[in-house]
Structure 1
Amino acid sequence: MMRLLQVSRLEVFYGKVQALQPTSLHIDSGQIVTVIGPNGAGKSTMLNAIAGALPASGTQSGDVIFGEQNLTGSAIEKRVASGMSLVPEKRELFATMKVEDNLLLGSYRRYQAGEKDYADQMHVVYDLFPRLKERRQQQAGTLSGGERQMLALGRALMAKPRLLMLDEPSLGLAPLIVKEIFHIIHRLKQTGVAILLVEQNARAALQVADYGYVLETGSIALEGVASDLAQDQRVVETYLGLVKK
């Protein structure tokens, strides 16, 4: 596999407070990599730093190599143009706009770049999310929580990303919807897109991922093949809610 993302010694500070210790991780093309850990461990901070989406109060250091580009210090626009797409925890949809218009906004960068086929991902999105096709003329604000998550995923896919970064996609969703979302994440892998998945639902994340990292108090505590992590006694007891005998 080709190395798609190489993050080396990434650190994040909010003022004098260090939110992320020197952290290194990598993702190969077409791979699903998950980062699990407790609330406040720095998972979302790490994801936002990689995407170039830290708030103004945050500063970062370290290297972010994406494909053959060194994106260290680059603006979020350059990272998106290079093939990164972030689905934030809050989803950040345009509630008063139609579902289809929200999706088209996801391809705006491609439209700006003069790509005549900028909307060509629409059929891919509707194939993955038939409910979005059924509700394409509805306002996004009228959708259920699960449908809003589907729309956030679909909008990100409209940019034709090489790397899709997902921040807590199961947050606040009913168990049946969570199962559906993770089934879709598994299907996304078949399209060739690599996925960096930040998730508190460790069980579901490790089931769908190829490789995993455990982030605790701002630093990587464990890493390994996802199926191996799912059998690790510390992970089982701390994150899966079971005592392994």
Structure 2
Amino acid sequence: MNHDLREQPVLLGLRDFSVSYGPVEAVHRIDIEVRQGEIVTVIGPNGAGKTTLLCAAMGLLPSRGEITFDGVPIKRCTVEKMVAKSVALVPEKRELFGEMSVRDNLLLGGFSLWRKGQRDQSQRMREVFAIFPRLEERATQLASTLSGGERQMLAIGRALMARPRLLMLDEPSLGLAPRIVREVLQVVASLRDHGVSVLLVEQNARAALKVADRAYVLESGNVALSGAARDLLHDQRIIDTYLGAAGAHA
């Protein structure tokens, strides 16, 4: 992480954070933070608790421990509270409206601001089209007719319509060809320039570490390693576990 980011205030802080499914604890007393203007990735094997962590941080699952946003503790975290604080989640399944056009999907993404009286959705749509020119080309197409990469771009673009300060992404590379993964993650990296912080959950460790500032390695619900992403990219334990022959092949 570059030195400037270390001096930025913490946007999202999770302290002593645990998430359980009934009696089973999926995430165990972890500490994670995302600073303003930072891209933080959480990598780890399948079933490590990565998606659970995101869902709980978004208020979709009950959690224990402390969540702060902009230094203010959030009591009984709910989706509504997180959306009101300008946090957006792009879930793994993308959850687009297939029978609606690209443009209408984007408009729905901005609905929370429209309801607050902000009628600048055409300006926000221009900003999204500037980030994803291909969505502009496909504006009138039904979302169901898009390629996998375009659907992922639309899912991110729809989240950006709400002008989030923090964007949480769950497995954006899932099911995409390597070239498209690079393209999507390059866009994610560029969001920093638009003042958006990113918490990225990824199974493609190599791709995630290349775009992130900092990384946490989650194993069996615990943070096994954390540090600057570029250091972890060259960490022998990470190379052996995630970036070895299988990692390179994937």
TM-score bracket for this pair, using the shorter chain length = over 0.9
Tell me which moved more, 117-126 or 223-232.
117-126
The correspondence for 1:198, drawn from 198, 201, 221, is 201
Q: Deviations over 1:10-67 (max 9, x none)?
A: 111111111111111111100000000000000000001001122xxxx311111011
> Any idea what the Cα deviations from partners look like across 1:75-126, whole Å, max 9, x if unmatched?
2011111010000000000000110000011111101111122443111110
* 1:95 paired residue number: 98
> In structure 2, what residue type is equivalent to 1:234?
R
Q: Is the 8 A contact 1:236 1:242 kept in 2?
A: no
Which residue number in structure 2 is paired with residue 172 of structure 1?
175
Q: 2:129 aligns with which of 123, 126, 129?
A: 126
2:223 is the alignment partner of 1:220: yes
Q: Distance in 2 between matches of 1:131 and 1:72?
A: 40
Map of 1:143 onto structure 2? 146
Structure 1 residue 34 corresponds to structure 2 residue 41: yes
Gaps of 5+ in 1: none
Aligned length: 239
C-alpha distance in 2, partners of 1:189/1:205? 15
Say what the alpha-carbon RMSD is for the aligned residues.
1.2
How far did 1:186 drift? 1.4
Question: What is the CA–CA distance in structure 2 between the aligned matches of 1:12 and 1:174, rounded to whole Å?
Answer: 32
Does structure 1 retain, via aligned residues, the 8 Å contact 2:143–2:151?
yes
Instruction: Return the offset for 1:242.
Output: 5.2
TM-score by length of 1: 0.95
Contact 1:107 1:119 in 2 (8 A): no
Equivalences for 1:232-243 in 2 at 5 Å? 232-241=235-244
Give the aligned residue type for 1:39: N
| Identical positions, percent | 54
Q: Give ranges in structure 2 of 5+ residues lacking alignment.
A: 1-7
Question: What letter corresponds to residue 199 of structure 1 in structure 2?
Answer: E
TM value normalised by structure 2: 0.93
Q: Matched residues in 1 for 2:122 and 2:165: separation?
A: 17
2:23 aligned to which of 16, 22, 40: 16
Deviation at 1:187, TM superposition (A): 1.2
Counterpart among 157, 160, 168 of residue 160 in structure 2:
157
Give the Cα separation in 2 of the matches to 1:239 and 1:209. Answer: 16
Q: Distance in 2 between matches of 1:119 and 1:223?
A: 40
1:69 aligns with 2:72: yes
Q: Deviations over 1:183-232 (max 9, x none)?
A: 11111111111000000111111111100000000110000011111111
Provide the residue aligned with 2:5 in structure 1.
none
Give the equivalent residue in structure 1 for 2:11.
4
82, 87, 94: which is aligned to 1:84?
87
Amino acid at match of 1:66: F
